[in-house]
Structure 1
Amino acid sequence: MAADSMVQLVSYLTAQQPYEIVGTPESEWVDFKSVPPQGPYDLSTDRGKFELAKDVAAFSNAGGGLLVCGFKAKKKQTELHEVAEKVTPFDKRLVDSTKYKDIITEYVRPLLKVKFFWYDHPEDDLEASGHYFVIEVPALPEADRWAVVTRGITDDGQFIKNSWTVPIRNGDTTVFLPQDEVYRLLNDGLRARRGTKPAMSARAADRPGAREALRAALGMAETPVLFFQSVPDHPRGLLPGMYADGGLRDVLSNQDTLRNADAFNWASQHTRPEPREGGLLLTMSARGGLLIDADGGVTGAAAATPDMLGWAMEYYSGDGARRISVFVLTEITLEYFRLVDLQVMPLVDSTWTHRIVASDFTQAPARILAPGDDPAFPRRGAPQPATSNDWNHSWQALGDPERDAYQALRHIYALFGLDVTTNPFTDEGRVITARLQERRQ
């Protein structure tokens, strides 16, 4: 027997009939992985990380597919492709799906909504036991192609910094987009852009109108504000179920926050989200608020005042300047991406752009930030003043709240001439949620 489609292959695994899959050839939609002692991919090595990223990107460029772990494939002389010839189920402890997700998030662009599934081998089989691990890779929309692995690799299995590759599934193998083809695509893109409107530039995801509308609704026209903004790169029109039971309005009303609504997050005990031009507006008194556009785009505003970002910092500001609390800045930033990455982005099938805008931070009294922790704790260095009144930077959303929060803080710290690594709640490219929770136990 053999599976002739992704649906049939998954149905065999669901029904605990893995032997029906034996004889299935590898193709544009399926690749089989046997399982050595380190697991299907050895993520302790650069080569293992590259192989995982390469396989995922290649399938996304070829219309989607399945990476099926737990089958040995072999090419016979009479066959054109490798064929699943043996079941090799394995222990679940050999795969940490969180690490798999982190590798894909870090090394594949754009962000892909990869799914992971476990399937059981029949318990009454005396010849084999264990489980099968399947990675389902979605097809990348034509408008978003091509998926890129953000690292190349040497012959001895080491990452090459400042390099990238474009893998493509070709039958049962993976090849890489030739340099000449990359050159042609880049030039085609440049030619296509000539004569287009400025709105089609890299800042197309910027929505200054939403920021101004939110600022006006909050009565913060003269207040320094830190804006967070998240916009789908390819909006799909009205977001379905905005006001339905369990929809986005209910999500905003019952947020899953790290601490209660009096902490530094985007929840409110006193107001509910209100309908606004097909979207939602949630105000949080003098602290800030959220505006959800009809297509799911999100704008958040946090006041750079003692009510929010400068909470309990007046005593340490000096010379009339307003000091920003490192703890508050980090918590409100992480809470924004916990809300947007986990609750809003999955509702729109698109890549997304995140953005931070620090507005009026140099107006007197200037906003200042210091490396290290807040003054009540050991700290390093002197406070640094903001260097711009219109600090506007963006990045492609990673979909991981801790990583996106780190990217936001990296840009915010640069506004003050500081490196984000001086923030004690960050490490290895992410905000560490546990450190925030430990500080406020």
Structure 2
Amino acid sequence: MAADSMVQLVSFLTAQQPYEIVGTPESEWVDFKSVPPNGPYDLSTHKGKFELAKDVAAFANAGGGLIVCGFKAKKRPNELHEVVEKVTPFDKKVVNTDSYKDVLTEYVRPLLKVKFFWYDHPQGDPGAAGHYFVLEVPALPESERWALVTRGINDDGQFIKNSWTIPIRNGDTTAFLPPDEVYRLVNDGLRVRHGRAGSAVPAPAADRVKSREDLRAALGMEETPALFFQSVPDHPRGLVPGMYADGGLRDVLDKQDTLRDANAFNWASVYRRPEPREGGLLLADAPRRGLLVESDGAVTGAASATSEMLGWAMERYSDGGARRISVFVLTEITLEYFRLVDRHVLPLVDGSWTHRIVASDFTQSPGCVLAAGDDPAFPLRGAPQPATSDDWNHSWQALGDPERDAYEALRHIYALFGLDVPVNPFVDGDRVSTAKLLPKR
């Protein structure tokens, strides 16, 4: 027998009938992977990372599909496609789903809502034992195509910097968008843009001003200088599914995977649990910080720019009474925001997102100041510079990589103080370095 649809294939796996899948040909909706010792994709290599990103983007650019790991497929004489000839279930330990998510987040644009599933091989089978791993890739809406892989690869299996590619699933193989088509798409986009020159500029992702006001009120921070982080889907699609389900977003907020414990500079709370609020969630940990998740997935975070949070343990360095912000605290809480949102919220809504930072009341007397902190061993070093605006509001297209989005946020925050972000001791190139930050624990 053979599976003739995604639904039937998954039903065979769910019923622990993997042998019913033998004879299924690879096609525009399914790709089969056998499992070598390092897993279906060896993510310790550039080639393995590229192959995963390429396969996922290719399905997204077609009609969506399944990548089914644990079956050996082979093309036989006189057959057009590779066909499953053997079940090869395997141990779960060779696949780290978090690593798969990290690779897709870093190397595929836009962010895709890929789902991961494990299925068991029937017990008592003397011929095989283990599990099957399935990646379910959604089709990218026509209006949001194309998905691209942010790196190319050379014949030696190494990434090529400043290169990219657009793969497309074509039957049981992968094709790539040809240069002439890419050229046409770019020029079509430019013509559309130029054609709008005399008309109104399209509105950016909505600035959720009311969300900031609501969170500020919930935290009792109306008169407190605050740094806001916001993340909004460019094309909201209504209620986010599973907000309150087991393992859903409420559980993610309640049991956050932070670099340090909940008493450090992150968004977790020892004393508070996320509460339902108008179809979303509120995690209010006044007077330090808080998170508001709206029903459509939009997130607002607020951190106090006082000694309660951003100025933690800085009172003795606050010359003239100005509120001095700690470089270390600022960097850690910024990175923690994007570790939470980029990894756990952005994948819930397909398509592009906009991140935003808003520094509110930073010049309110006695004002906030920030020093460069130009040496990892002495992150307080440098002359403190005053904030230059009371309503600093800047946004950028979400990159989906926590370290890179944290860098973009800090780049905008540092400009508020007339500073250049490379002087931050925890920055490495165009990203915040977790490795540099962690030794300061």
Question: Normalising by structure 1, what TM-score?
Answer: 0.79
Residue 175 (structure 1) shift: 0.8
* 2:151 alignment counterpart: 151
**Bigger mean CA deviation after superposition, 182-191 or 425-434:** 425-434
* 1:79 alignment counterpart: 79
> Residue 368 of structure 1 aligns to which amino acid in structure 2?
L
Aligned residues: 432
Q: Which whole-Å deviations, capped at 9, do the CAs of 1:69-111 have from their partners, x for residues lacking one?
A: 2222222332221212222333333322222221111100111
**Bigger mean CA deviation after superposition, 346-355 or 301-310:** 346-355
1:229 and 1:355 in contact (8 A); partners too:
yes
* 1:179 alignment counterpart: 179
Equivalent of 2:371 in 364, 369, 372: 369
Classify 1:388/1:318 alpha carbon distance in 2 versus 1 (closer, same or farther; 3 Å). same
> Residue 397 of structure 2 aligns to which amino acid in structure 1?
W
Residue 183 (structure 1) shift: 2.0
* 1:69 alignment counterpart: 69
Secondary structure in 2 matching 1:367: strand
Q: Which whole-Å deviations, capped at 9, do the CAs of 1:10-34 have from their partners, x for residues lacking one?
A: 2222233222212111111111122
Classify 1:209/1:186 alpha carbon distance in 2 versus 1 (closer, same or farther; 3 Å). farther
2:112 and 2:351 in contact (8 A); partners too:
no
Q: Distance in 1 between matches of 2:282 and 2:17?
A: 51
**Bigger mean CA deviation after superposition, 210-219 or 316-325:** 210-219
Give structure 1 stretches of 5+ with no counterpart.
none
1:268 and 1:284 in contact (8 A); partners too:
no
* 2:299 alignment counterpart: 298
* 2:354 alignment counterpart: 353
> Residue 18 of structure 2 aligns to which amino acid in structure 1?
P
* 1:120 alignment counterpart: 120
Classify 1:283/1:46 alpha carbon distance in 2 versus 1 (closer, same or farther; 3 Å). closer
1:168 and 1:176 in contact (8 A); partners too:
yes
* 2:92 alignment counterpart: 92
Correspondence list, 1:17-416, <5 A: 17-193=17-193, 194-195=195-196, 198=200, 200=202, 203-208=204-209, 210-211=211-212, 224-237=225-238, 265=267, 287=288, 290=291, 295-334=296-335, 336-337=337-338, 340=341, 345=346, 348-359=349-360, 361=362, 365-371=367-373, 378-379=378-379, 381-385=381-385, 388-389=388-389, 390=392, 392-396=394-398, 398=400, 404-405=405-406, 408-409=409-410, 411-413=412-414, 416=419
Q: Which whole-Å deviations, capped at 9, do the CAs of 1:290-319 have from their partners, x for residues lacking one?
A: 555564433333232233311221211335
> Residue 423 of structure 1 aligns to which amino acid in structure 2?
F
Q: Distance in 2 between matches of 1:67 and 1:241?
A: 24
* 1:419 alignment counterpart: 422
**Bigger mean CA deviation after superposition, 303-312 or 213-222:** 213-222
2:267 and 2:290 in contact (8 A); partners too:
no
Residue 257 (structure 1) shift: 8.4
2:250 and 2:281 in contact (8 A); partners too:
no
Q: Distance in 2 between matches of 1:128 and 1:135?
A: 22
Q: Which whole-Å deviations, capped at 9, do the CAs of 1:339-379 have from their partners, x for residues lacking one?
A: 645775566455422222334546764521342789xx854
Q: Percent identity?
A: 65
Question: Normalising by structure 2, what TM-score?
Answer: 0.79
1:372 and 1:424 in contact (8 A); partners too:
no
1:326 and 1:373 in contact (8 A); partners too:
no
**Bigger mean CA deviation after superposition, 316-325 or 227-236:** 316-325
Q: Distance in 2 between matches of 1:279 and 1:214?
A: 13
Classify 1:221/1:121 alpha carbon distance in 2 versus 1 (closer, same or farther; 3 Å). closer
**Bigger mean CA deviation after superposition, 136-145 or 283-292:** 283-292
> Residue 144 of structure 1 aligns to which amino acid in structure 2?
E
1:413 and 1:419 in contact (8 A); partners too:
no
Q: Distance in 1 between matches of 2:432 and 2:289?
A: 27
1:296 and 1:344 in contact (8 A); partners too:
yes
**Bigger mean CA deviation after superposition, 189-198 or 224-233:** 189-198
Q: Distance in 1 between matches of 2:274 and 2:17?
A: 51
**Bigger mean CA deviation after superposition, 50-59 or 94-103:** 94-103
RMSD: 4.2
Residue 382 (structure 1) shift: 1.6
